[in-house]
Structure 1
Amino acid sequence: MAEHSFPGTGQEFMERTKYRFLVRSDQENGLSQPPLELPKVPGAPVINLPKPSGLVIPPTDLRIAIERRHSVRVYEKTPLSLEELSFLLWCTQGIKKVHGTQATFRTVPSAGARHAFETYLLVNDVDGLEPGLYRFLAISHSLQRISIDPSIHIDIAHACFDQDFIMRCGVAFLWTAVPYRMTWRYGERGYRDLHLDAGHVCQNLYLAAETVGCGVCAIAAFDDDVMASLLGIDGINQFLIYLATVGKAGKAT
């Protein structure tokens, strides 16, 4: 391997986020913490999801789910039910308890219970939902419709370097990070935690999908700036960190 006189970007990131370089966080400096969830978009319709407590989901042995876990890119032309989608959202960002305005305790771990993610959904084939782009409102366990642009699935697939199975899945989960929720407490080190949290969330999706007969494929290859534009975010104070397709599992992978 050729030696360089300067570190690569990744190496520099790891070096500069070591604890010895950190300064006092905004929490330590007494600044108010950011909201637990982004506000609703004014005027955009909200759809209530079936409540997690009322869902009837077939039990699945955890060992079997782990053994079966693999990436699936071919899906049957069978829609997900709204109940199945509600279950998958609860497994990946479901809120078990809200602690005032300070924290939420969810079904996935997050450094300091900061839970800096917002979940967007590209809905292609879900019973009861018009195709389009939605955002999950975790605190109320509901969806808000963001866009019904008929070409949004094509645009997102193209922004993911033409991974066209995105257009054929039942739904794609798109997780964005709101970094200040994390860095308010942990400073620049918090950016490391965001990427760890993304792995926690996506693994929950893989395992939960096994329970409802679905397959998942995680995607980390995308044009950051194009995806930010499609989601209507600035790419700095909120940016896409990870996404995954979900659909009824086909025979090929």
Structure 2
Amino acid sequence: MRITKEYLDSLIENGRNMLKPDWNLWNPKKSDEGLGIEFQGLKKSLNDKNMRIKLDLEGLNLISKKTLSECIERRKSTRDFSNKFLSFKELSYLIWETCGVNEHKDGYLHRTIPSAGGKYCLNTYMFINRVEDIQEGLYLYLPDNKELVLIDSKSNLVEKIDKAMFNQMYNSAITFIWTAMPYKMEYRYYIVSHKMIAIEAGHACQNLYLASEAISCGCCAISAYKQRTIDKIVKVDGDNEFVIYMAIVGKEI
């Protein structure tokens, strides 16, 4: 395919249109949900033999001694990390603050971040590099079960992921990788859904920044990566599910 200026200009135009959808075109009765089409759950196909680890959620409200104001004031992007390990409790805290499930009520799911219509179209993967008592590897968080499931533990994952994100791992202890499953949002909002998917990813990452600060960790959002490569590493198809955002976390120096 020849990359012309006209083609690049069209990408810019399409991107701007995605960020300013015309809500007058949205008719909820014409969405798949409004038409009564049964939602296909898009559940992950996981091997029952994969190792699963329950989060340690007891006493998470006691883990931070900082106020919310202090966390907001000190929030910054950090790219220098020590070689210290995070505790499993600290990992549990970071996961809970970014994608924990508070309750199921009146047909809606309530998590620690907002999502349009309670659709929650993101999945949270993480490459765990330095967390006490956790095998190094790529994990997926299952919010309903409150557990991590091991997806891949190949020895060369560090190099592969770092290369896919243009060498921006920076000695971090954990790399958060959020994927989007667009149809979860499109099911109700179809033509106006894609802006809200991007916003939801922003909510999750900002919570991670503040939660990291609360436990004296550094965090840095990563939006530049090789899309096809990282999708392949995470084992998603790149269409119905694909990586939309990343972030690195580690102990501050």
- Aligned position for 1:18: 22
Report the RMSD for the aligned CA atoms in angstroms: 2.2
Q: CA deviation at 1:188?
A: 2.6
Using the aligned pairs only, state the percent identity. Answer: 32
1:62 positional shift? 1.4
Residue 243 of structure 1: how far off its partner (Å): 0.6
Residue 60, structure 1, aligned to residue 84, structure 2? no
1:175-190 equivalences under 5 Å are 175-190=178-193
Aligned residue number for residue 27 of structure 1: 33
Q: CA deviation at 1:40?
A: 3.6
Give structure 1 stretches of 5+ with no counterpart: none
The 8 Å contact of residues 37 and 118 in structure 1, kept in 2 or not, is answered as no
Distance 1:96 1:34, change over 3 A: farther
TM-score (norm 2): 0.89
Task: Return the alpha-carbon distance in structure 1 between the equivalents of residues 237 and 91 of structure 2.
Answer: 27
Question: What is the rounded CA distance, in whole Å, between the counterparts of 1:110 and 1:174 in structure 2?
Answer: 18
CA distance in 1, matches of 2:154, 2:7: 48
Q: Does the aligned pair in 1 maintain the 2:169–2:175 contact within 8 Å? A: no
- Secondary structure of the corresponding residue to residue 176 of structure 2: strand
Amino acid in the other structure paired with 2:141: F
CA distance in 2, matches of 1:71, 1:209: 11
Return the alpha-carbon distance in structure 2 between the equivalents of residues 193 and 38 of structure 1: 22
Cα deviation, residue 140, structure 1: 1.3
**Alpha-carbon distance between aligned partners in 1 of 2:164 and 2:232, rounded to the nearest angstrom:** 10
| Counterparts in 2 of 1:13 and 1:19: CA distance versus 1, 3 Å | farther
Q: Is the 8 A contact 1:131 1:148 kept in 2?
A: yes
Q: How big is the shift at 1:9?
A: 1.5
Partner of 1:170: 173
CA distance in 1, matches of 2:94, 2:7: 47
Matched residue SS, 1:218: strand
CA distance in structure 2 between the partners assigned to 1:191 and 1:153 by the alignment: 31
Q: How does 1:1-253 map to 2 (within 5 A)?
A: 8-15=10-17, 17-22=21-26, 24-35=30-41, 38-53=44-59, 56-99=62-105, 102-165=107-170, 168-250=171-253
Instruction: Flag the 1:115–1:53 CA change in 2: closer, same or farther, 3 A.
Output: farther
How far the C-alpha of 1:99 sits from its partner, in A, is 3.6
Distance 1:197 1:54, change over 3 A: closer
1:4 CA displacement: 6.7
Q: Report the number of matched residues.
A: 245
Q: Under a length normalisation based on structure 1, what TM-score does the superposition of the two structures give?
A: 0.89
**Is the CA contact 1:36–1:104 (under 8 Å) kept in the aligned structure 2?**
no
